[in-house]
């Protein structure tokens, strides 16, 4: 059983946070814990609502039949947390339950920039100043894995990336 009914999702991407939440939630249930789970996700660096908070709550709403209830932290005076009361196990692969993956700021910038095909070098040249090479390379990999970004090989072997239609 987890040491407490609390999980901190700071410093994760939204997709990673949902996966980690599902793992923790299911571990709680499998160990017999059915009490309150406090999910600490932060309120977003702008204060307008972070990607993890939005994506988690969207995921919880999409899986309402498996959750006794969830309470937005704003009603308790803490917008950086969500309280979840578990009911039934969640699918281990969150995307299969209808959750969409909301990219972080770097991912959103990549998707906007790649509305027409761009090479990785062009993406890095355009966005490195805002996010750094390492963050961008990791985010490109994540977006391709999540199928938000399509890798297209041209006739000369060059690989370009294009945002899928739903992100154009």
43-89 pLDDT per residue, tens: 876 555 688 988 999 899 888 889 999 999 888 888 889 999 999 99
pLDDT at residue 48, as a whole number: 56
To the question of domain 105-167 being in CATH 3.40.1190.20, the answer is no
CATH class of domain segment(s) 6-97? alpha beta
Contact 82, 60 (CB under 8 A): yes
Q: Pick the more confident residue, 166 or 155.
A: 155
Q: Measured between alpha carbons, how far is 31 from 38 in angstroms, rounded to an integer? A: 17
Q: Can you give the residue ranges of every domain in the chain?
A: 6-97, 105-167
- How many CA atoms does the CB half-sphere of 103 hold within 13 Å? 25
């Amino acid at each position: 059983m987890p040491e407490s009914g609390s999980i901190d999702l700071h410093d994760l991407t939204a997709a990673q946070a949902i996966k980690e939440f599902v793992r923790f939630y299911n571990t709680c249930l499998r160990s017999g814990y059915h009490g309150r789970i406090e999910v600490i996700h932060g309120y977003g660096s702008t204060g307008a609502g972070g990607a993890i908070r939005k994506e988690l709550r969207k995921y919880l709403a999409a899986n309402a039949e498996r959750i006794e209830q969830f309470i937005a932290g704003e009603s308790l005076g803490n917008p950086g947390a969500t309280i979840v009361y578990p009911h039934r196990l969640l699918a281990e692969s969150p995307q299969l339950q209808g959750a969409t993956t909301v990219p972080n700021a770097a991912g959103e910038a990549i998707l906007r920039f790649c509305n027409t095909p761009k090479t990785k070098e062009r993406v890095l040249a355009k966005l490195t100043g805002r996010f750094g090479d390492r963050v961008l390379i990791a985010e490109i990999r994540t977006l391709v894995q999540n199928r938000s970004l399509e890798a297209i090989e041209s006739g000369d072997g060059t690989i370009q990336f294009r945002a899928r239609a739903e992100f154009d």
